[in-house]
Amino acid sequence: MATETLSFCCPHCKVRLTVPSSLAGVTGPCPSCKASITAPLVTTIKTASPPPKSFEVPAPAPAPVPAAGTKAAGGSKIRPEPRKLPERPPTEPIQPRRSTDDDQLRQSIPLAPPADDPRSSRLVHALLPASFSALAVTIVYLLLYFFLPDGPRQRIKQAQRPLDLSAAKPAATSPVFPASPAPAAPPEPTVPAEENVESAETALRPADESPALAANALLEAFLKAPDAASRVGMVEPAATEQELAGTLLARPLPEVAQIFSELPQENPMEQLTEYPYRVSFFAEGQRNIDYAVVVRQRGNQPPKVFLPAFLDLVGGRLDSFVATPNDSDPARFHVILEAVSGCHDKSVPNGDHKFTFKLLPSPFGRETARSYVSVGSRFKAMVEDPSSSLRWGLRIRATVTLQWNHMEDPDHPYLELLDINALSWNP
């Protein structure tokens, strides 16, 4: 079937164009130069022949819009103009649905007071100064409590050295009570001394008094006694007035701040009961000094103050021995002993192979000195033995033998613990 075509040249770019004959008289853009051209009217209808060797241009993209309802030849449809829809009346906005009456609920139960409520602002302004005042008073009280020279905290701190009684000590030629816990038997007391013993026992041990109360009364009387003669019958082992006259017991002791009692310890085999105490003395110009004191009672006999331990600690015998290195023979002392792992004094020779024993005047006092032993000694096995009362960091009463070691390094002598004679103060 032959196809009717129309062939013409663009008057602007002179390009030959071939279009369907149905577009005759239609105006549109040239596919080559885009100029507006009009296809000529049909004058001669030619039978379709093989396409000439001319530039073929596709149909223009924006085809001219014919009148509404027309139909192009060849069956192609042209899109009609859109119809105008009738205008609809405006609708009301959709209202939100509420499950309750929100406005009424807000009015009946307000969630928070208004921001400009004068009552809340007045309360805040009143509480802030009061809070700052209370905080300032608390801080001032704590500062006064902890840092006043005579505050309660200073009274609680423990002693760190024996009593300074050098001004009142007798001359160097005066006899000194022996350091051994088992001194030689004293000579036969004279009749006046025996009368003093009987009078002291009678005054300190009423018939209806319990042993613990009797021990308390004995210790108070011993600490308040004015001289050696008054203390002759209050000590164990027994000592004469002449022996006590060479010690600090020949004169009144410093004022006692407080006496702390501990649980008594009984030894049924020896029929011995020990009453441990911690006595705190006032010291002028320094902190209170605490010492461990033991009162003993054998069977039904009156209680007595254990004299060797009292002279070692309160009397200053231990402090004099450990104050400076000396060439004295080994000496035995009654101390509060604490085992500490390692040696922290770099001046001690071979400190890496030693550990420490602290020597203290009371379970709560500050140490008097430190002694050292080898880690390979039997003392470490004692400390690590679960059945032993001597443990790391535990303070107990013990009887020890001390000596200054000049052998390892003569330029750096150290205090050596030679022996632990007993883990108690028993002779």
Residue-wise pLDDT tens digits, 365-422: 789 999 999 999 999 999 999 999 999 999 999 999 999 999 999 999 999 999 999 9
**427 found inside a domain:** no
362 and 308 in a common domain: no
Structure tokens given for 333: 């002392």
In a domain, 95, yes or no: no
Binned at pLDDT 50, 70 and 90, residue 46 comes out as very low
Overall number of domains in the chain: 3
The reply to whether 170 and 280 lie within a common domain is yes
Q: What pLDDT was estimated at residue 30?
A: 87
Q: Would you say residue 89 lies in a domain?
A: no
Higher pLDDT, 12 or 179: 12
Nearest 5 degrees, angle CA 402-CA 408-CA 410? Answer: 90
If you average pLDDT over every residue of the chain, what do you get? 78
The pTM for the full model equals 0.54
Based on the domain organization, do 195 and 303 belong to the same domain? yes
Of 14-23, 96-105, 268-277, 331-340, the least confident: 96-105
Residue type, position 147, single letter: F
Q: Read off the pLDDT of each residue in 265-269 and give the average, rounded to a whole number.
A: 89
What pLDDT does residue 112 have? 52
Least confident stretch, 137-146, 210-219, 296-305, 353-362:
137-146
Look at residue 180 in the predicted model and tell me its pLDDT: 40
Q: Are strands 304-306 and 235-236 parallel, antiparallel or unpaired?
A: parallel
- Which domain CATH number covers 260? 3.10.450
Q: What is the pLDDT of residue 176?
A: 38
Q: Is the pLDDT reported for residue 295 higher than 90? A: yes
Same domain, 369 and 298: no
Going 39 to 40 to 45 to 48, the CA torsion angle's sign is negative
For position 83, what pLDDT does the model report? 64
CA gap 257, 157 in Å, rounded? 13
pLDDT classification of 114: cutoffs 50, 70, 90: low
Alpha-carbon gap, residue 3 to 19, rounded angstroms: 11
Q: Classify residue 104: in a domain, yes or no.
A: no
Residue 74 lies in a domain: no
Q: Is the pLDDT of residue 160 over 60?
A: no
What single DSSP character describes residue 342? S
Residue 32's pLDDT band (cuts 50, 70, 90): confident
Instruction: Say what the pLDDT of residue 31 is.
Output: 86
pLDDT band at 104 (very low <50, low <70, confident <90, very high): low
pLDDT at 82: 64
Which among 35, 63, 91 is the end of a domain?
A: 63
Question: Is residue 59 over pLDDT 80?
Answer: no
Q: Which residues contact 9 (CB under 8 A, 6 or more apart)?
A: 15, 16, 17
Mean of pLDDT values over 44-69? 53
pLDDT in tens, 209-257: 688 999 999 999 999 999 999 999 999 999 999 999 999 999 999 999 9
The reported pLDDT for the residue numbered 38 is: 85
> Strands 235-236 and 5-9, how do they pair?
unpaired
Structural domain that includes position 372: 324-422
Domain boundary among 261, 287, 313: 313
* Single-letter residue type at 200: A
Where does a domain end: 255, 282, 313? 313
302 and 213, same structural domain? yes
The pLDDT, as a whole number, for residue 306 is 95
Q: What is the predicted pLDDT for the residue at 222?
A: 95
Residue written as tokens 């051994």? 180
The torsion region of residue 281 among left (phi > 0), alpha (psi -120 to 50) and beta comes to: beta
What would the DSSP string read from start to end of 66-128? --TT-B-GGG-B-PPPPPPPPPPPPPPPPPPP-SS-HHHHHHHS-SS--TT-HHHHHHHHHHH
Residues 264, 293 within the same domain:
yes
Indicate the pLDDT class of residue 181, thresholds 50, 70 and 90: very low
Q: Where are the beta strands (DSSP E) in 284-388?
A: 289-298, 304-306, 331-340, 354-360, 369-374
- Sorted by sequence, the CB contacts under 8 Å of residue 389 that are 6+ apart come out as 396, 423
User: 225 with 360, same domain?
Assistant: no
Give the number of other Cβ atoms within 10 Å of residue 236's Cβ. 19
Tell me, yes or no, whether 279 and 400 share the same domain. Answer: no
Cross-strand pairs, 5: 20, 46
Give residue 377's identity as a one-letter amino acid code. Answer: S
- pLDDT tens digits, one per residue of 336-361: 999 999 999 999 999 999 999 999 99
pLDDT at 101 over 60: no
- Do the beta carbons of residue 335 and residue 360 sit within 8 Å? yes
pLDDT over 90 (residue 308): yes
Task: Average the pLDDT over 87-113 and give the result.
Answer: 62
In this predicted structure, which of 30-39, 182-191, 280-289, 299-308 has the lowest mean pLDDT? 182-191
Co-location of 289 and 369 in the same domain = no
Paired sense of beta strands 331-340 and 27-29, if any: unpaired
pLDDT of residue 192 exceeding 60: no
